Amino acid sequence: MKMTNRVLPTLLISKGKLVKTVRFKDPTYVGDPINAVKIFNDKEVDEIILLDITVGKENSQPDYEQIEEICSEAFMPFAYGGGIREISQIKKLFNLGIEKVILNSALVDNPNLVKEAAEIFGSQSIVASIDVKKDLLGKYRAYTHAGKKKVKLSLEQFVLKVEELGVGEIMLTSISNEGTYKGYDLDLIKNIAPLLNVPLIACGGAAELSDFKEA
């Protein structure tokens, strides 16, 4: 299905700081998230994605105070992911100014949460984040929990199952390309995009304008 192309910068947060990772490892401090948002305001990007890569691992709450501060500075729609386990958290995030929430581990641990969130808040506000890398046999497989837990279903089966939960978008991240500036995994995108009836957000590896055109 034909979709409008958009540019969505992804900001990674760890313990309140803006970081960069490579293949989901070795977070390196790169600056202040508020400054990054101001830069993207000037660039007039379509949307910003904020992912807290720490709260899920620590089983802690999203940093609502920082999220509210970041939202107050953003002139574009804002999506947030990280540490979301309950409907009450989603409601609080929307009240702070977040327009979309991004769910990853819940896709496997609590798919009913995903379905319920889509029913309560609308599909347009729920994004499924699916992280992908090849296994030892060279097959694409989905992973959750920061790329550490492999999903039992095939990638194709999992993507379709996730779409059935009622999400409005699917964010597909190539673990192998993430943070490498090698360009998108075009084979991965070509394999999955035709299966979907919702917009696909490609993530991982973009370095220059030609990468966006190829994707």
Instruction: Report the catalytic residues.
Output: 131
Cβ neighbour number for residue 142 with a 10 Å cutoff: 24
Are the beta carbons of 55 and 82 closer than 8 angstroms?
Answer: yes
Residue (of 60, 53, 42, 142) closest to 102 by Cα position: 53
Residue (of 132, 123, 55, 41) closest to 89 by Cα position: 55
Cβ neighbour number for residue 112 with a 10 Å cutoff: 9
Structure tokens at 3: 């979709």
